[in-house]
Amino acid sequence: MKKFGTLFQIRWKESLGDPNYPYLYRWMIIFFGFSIRLHHWIKSDDRRFFHDHSCNFISIVLKGKYKNVTPEGIFNIQAPSIWQSNATKRHYLDIPKEGAWTLLFCSRPIQKWGFFVNNHKWRPLRYFSKYGIIQNQNYQ
C-alpha cells in the first residue's frame, strides 16, 4: 500500500480471505474518501450470513458472471452489466469457478460494515473470531 497523506492511497493486489486461499484480489485507488476498485473474484465471499458495506457503490461487471444473493432473491449478473447498491443492502456473491472481474466506484464510507447473524450486525473481527475464515471454499 502506498499512502500519500490521508487523502490519497494506492493499494495493489491485496488478497482478501484466507491468505492461502483468497476469494478476491483487489486493486484500489482512494482519494478524499472515494475509491475506485478493481476486483478479481476467485471464489464466493462468505455465504454463511449476509453482509452489508461501508459505502454506496456502482459495480461494472467487466468479465464473467455471478449471483448476487439478497434476502429479496437471487440476481444473476453477467458481463457486460452495471448495478448499484446502497451500503445498507445485505447480500453475498456466489462466484462460479470461472471467476469474474468487476470495477467499482465507491462513495465515501457512511457506516461500518458487518455480517448479520440472527438479524444482529456483527463487526468482522467478532464474526471471524467466532466462525473462522472459510478456507479452500469451492461452491460448485
Tell me what pLDDT residue 5 has.
Answer: 59
Q: Which domain holds residue 64?
A: 43-131
In a domain, 137, yes or no: no
In a domain, 23, yes or no: no
User: Which residue is associated with the grid cell 453475498?
Assistant: 92
Nearest-angstrom CA–CA distance, 115 and 113: 7
Check pLDDT > 60 for residue 96: yes
In a domain, 16, yes or no: no
Tell me what pLDDT residue 57 has.
Answer: 98
In a domain, 58, yes or no: yes
Average pLDDT over residues 82-97: 97
Q: Which CATH number is 102's domain given? A: 2.60.120.10
In a domain, 33, yes or no: no
Bridge partners of 41, per DSSP, are 24, 100
Domain count, the chain: 1
Bridge partners of 6, per DSSP, are none
* Beta-sheet pairing, 120-122 with 73-78: unpaired
Nearest-angstrom CA–CA distance, 22 and 46: 11
CA 34 to chain centre: 16
Q: Are 65 and 72 in contact (CB under 8 A)?
A: no
In a domain, 27, yes or no: no
In a domain, 120, yes or no: yes
- Please classify residue 64 by burial: count the beta carbons closer than 10 Å to its beta carbon, then call 0-12 exposed, 13-18 middle and 19+ buried: middle
Check pLDDT > 70 for residue 15: yes
In a domain, 107, yes or no: yes
